[in-house]
Amino acid sequence: MDLYIYNSLSFWGYFMKSQTQTEKSQHGSVRSYTIGFLLSIILTFAAYIPVVIHQNSYHQTFSHELLIPLVLFFALLQLMVQLIFFLHLAGSGSSARWNLAVFISTVCIVLVIVIGSVWIMSHLNYNMMSGSNMNKYIQNQEGIHK
């Protein structure tokens, strides 16, 4: 069982081989924490600055279609950075692999909850995701007014 998980997750091992070879300690080193910290700060600014430019130009610079995936991409990148450099999820050893296995199954649950909720609620008759349509629908069909 352990071997199976190890094989299925071996791409992580490959990904982080250079790190685990230099650092024997389970909890990383000052160097790995510093790299993780600097990368996190860079990624925070990389997501923050375009949004501020967008807002200061009254939503003219950068389109919504570009910014939303961009900002989400930086958040996911930062998630990876923190998982690797702060939580050492990519480490070797059976316990690190079990932690990673539980994490991946949890991520699946999280995706089902979030994507499922948004998907269902945006396809309801009331179309709850867009405020103006819902208000119109409620006023016309149900006779409810604010």
Site residues, another protein (CB under 8 A): 25, 27-30, 33-34, 36-37, 40-41, 44, 47-48, 51-52, 54-55, 64, 67-68, 71-72, 74-75, 78-79, 82-83, 86-87, 95, 98-99, 102-103, 106, 109-110, 113-114, 116-118, 121, 128-131, 134, 146
Alpha-carbon dihedral 51, 56, 61, 67, rounded to 10 degrees:
10
In the complex with another protein, the residue whose CB is nearer, 14 or 33, is 33
In the complex with another protein, the residue whose CB is nearer, 110 or 139, is 110
Residues 85, 23 contacting (CB under 8 angstroms): no
Calculate ∠ Cα 34-81-93, nearest 5°. 90
In the complex with another protein, the residue whose CB is nearer, 14 or 103, is 103
Position 62, amino acid: F
